[in-house]
Structure 1
Amino acid sequence: MKNEKNTCKNNLTKPLLTIPMIPSKEVRYRLPKKVEVFEYYTISNGHCRIYKEEDGIKELGKQVILDPCKVSYMNLFINGVLQPKENYEVQSGVIMLKTEDVPTKGTPVILQMFKV
């Protein structure tokens, strides 16, 4: 009986293990450019469509509305909702809403400006 156990063990073949060859590929990463983010915050008074730098929230520091030619991208949020570009126009120091209705009193208006 002892010999049978040894014979069975010897008849087993060892598993074939291979290490797959992964082709080497050079990967280059480009670090992103520095991005500057500027924000303008104000609160709607319920009847104006035009917001100037002076209307910004003073407690947040100096509020600036940059010239659109000097920024790469901008977003306008009214009450937290992103507005389509057709709804507003931005000039240096001024935001003008092109909509028929105005934001209700107390509604936050936020302009994000990005420089890349």
Structure 2
Amino acid sequence: MASKNRDRNHFIKPFLTIPLIPPVISRHHLPKKVEVYEYYTVSDGESKSYKEVDGIPELGKQVILAPSQVSYMNLFINGVLQPKDCYAVQKGEITLKTEDVPPKGAPVILQMLKF
């Protein structure tokens, strides 16, 4: 047993160092400027088309931008995000492609993001 302990003491301890990492030239990417536009209206329970003039004037000027003018759009009806296949947007107008219409008084919100 004594010989095993003596053999263990004769091992050379490893020399550990922290590897040197060459300095990296940092490139700072500033966040892109994002412009958010929103269109708000309320369903009348009959129409599947909403125009800028149907917007809520108390919330300021309501605009519906053309899809080519924005990077991304979301349509919410009664607080529920709608699939892109269920609506079409052109400058100044939203048209629902669904068979049914939103219930009367349901909020219709179009969120438009421009990067």
TM-score (norm 2): 0.79
Residue 95 of structure 1: SS of its match in structure 2? strand
Q: Give the CA deviation at 1:32.
A: 1.5
Residue 109 of structure 1: SS of its match in structure 2? strand
Q: What's the counterpart of residue 109 of structure 1?
A: 108
Q: Give the CA deviation at 1:41.
A: 0.2
Distance 1:22 1:40, change over 3 A: farther
Give the Cα separation in 2 of the matches to 1:104 and 1:19: 69
Residue 73 of structure 2: SS of its match in structure 1? strand
Q: What's the counterpart of residue 32 of structure 1?
A: 31
Give the Cα separation in 1 of the matches to 2:104 and 2:40: 14
Give the Cα separation in 2 of the matches to 1:70 and 1:112: 13
Count of paired positions: 99
Give the Cα separation in 1 of the matches to 2:78 and 2:20: 52
Q: What's the counterpart of residue 83 of structure 2?
A: 84
Which letter does structure 2 place at the counterpart of 1:48?
Answer: S
Residue 101 of structure 1: SS of its match in structure 2? coil
Residue 101 of structure 2: SS of its match in structure 1? coil
Q: What's the counterpart of residue 58 of structure 1?
A: 57
Give the Cα separation in 2 of the matches to 1:57 and 1:72: 24
Give the Cα separation in 1 of the matches to 2:62 and 2:40: 7
Q: What's the counterpart of residue 98 of structure 2?
A: 99
| Structure 1 gap ranges (5+) | 1-17
| Structure 2 gap ranges (5+) | 1-15
The structure whose Rg is larger is 1
RMSD between aligned alpha carbons? 1.5
TM-score (norm 1): 0.78
Distance 1:26 1:61, change over 3 A: same
Q: Runs of at least 4 residues of structure 1 off by over 6 A?
A: none
Q: Give the CA deviation at 1:33.
A: 1.4
Residue 46 of structure 2: SS of its match in structure 1? coil
